[in-house]
Structures are given as structure tokens and as C-alpha cells.
Amino acid sequence: MRTFALAAAVVLLASAALAQEQEIKLKPGAGLDKVEGNCAACHTLAYIPMNSPFLDAKGWDAEVTKMIKAYGAPIEDADAKAIAEYLKSNYGP
């Protein structure tokens, strides 16, 4: 299991079986689907409310960039932009 597609598939398959994993209900808003579709492949969405409401626009941009550049998250440019906008709009100070 060393590809993103497989990892994502496992997460999706697992989400039904692993009903015990905490469900994190993020605020509704434009881009939420991109957040759920990308970020949740590698980690719980809890990291978003956890790091709020103090990260400002620059801070959330830096987090999205870190996920892609440092952690190798395979996120399309357009999705990355939508994710950053969602985080800034909904989880900023």
C-alpha cells in the first residue's frame, strides 16, 4: 500500500468498517469537498479545528504548502487553492 490512490481507497473502504473513527463535522462552505477528499486521505480532519481560530490567511497558506512540499500530499493546484480558501474563510481568526 504505497500509492496515494490505494491509500485513499483504503480510507474510503475503511470508513464504513471503522465506524469508531471520530467523525469531524467541518463547517459548511465552498471547498469543503476538496478538504474532505484530499486532507482526510492521510489524517483526521481534527487537525483543522485544532489549529483554529488562530491561523490567519498566511498561516493556512503555509500549512497547505507544507502538506504538499514537506509531506508530499498529491494535491492538484486548483484543489490546493480551494482548500486554502476554505480554511481561511472558515477557520481563520
Partner 1 sequence: MISRRHLLQTAGAAGALAGLPSFVRAQGAGPMLTPGVPSGVATYATMATLPGKKPLIRLADRPPNYESPLEYLRTPITPNDQFFVRYHLADIPEVKVETYRVKVGGDAANGQAELTFDDLKKFPAVEVVAVNQCSGNRRGLSQPHVAGVEWGYGAMGCARWKGARLKDILDKVGVKKECIEVGFNGADGPAVDKTPDFIKSIPTWKAIDPETIIAYEMNGQPLPHFNGFPARLIVPGWTGTYWMKHLTTIDARTQPQGGFWMNPAYRIPVNKFPVVNRFLTQENATSTPITEIVVNSLITSHRDGAIVKPGKVTVSGLAWDGGYGVRRVEVSTDGGKSWSDAKLGEDLGKYAFRSWSFDLNAKRGKNTVMVNATNAIGQTQVSQLIFNPAGYHNNVMQSITLNA
- Residues making contact with partner 1 (CB under 8 A): 1-4, 7, 10-11, 14, 18, 20-22, 24, 41-44, 46-55, 59, 62-63, 70-74, 91
Identify which of residues 24 and 57 has a Cβ nearer to partner 1 in the complex.
Answer: 24
Nearest-approach distance from CB 58 to partner 1, in angstroms: 11
Contact call for residues 80 and 53 (beta carbons, < 8 A): no
How many Å apart are CA 63 and CA 1, to the nearest integer?
26
Three-state DSSP at 49 gives: helix
Nearest-approach distance from CB 78 to partner 1, in angstroms: 19
Nearest-approach distance from CB 81 to partner 1, in angstroms: 19
How many Å apart are CA 88 and CA 27, to the nearest integer?
12
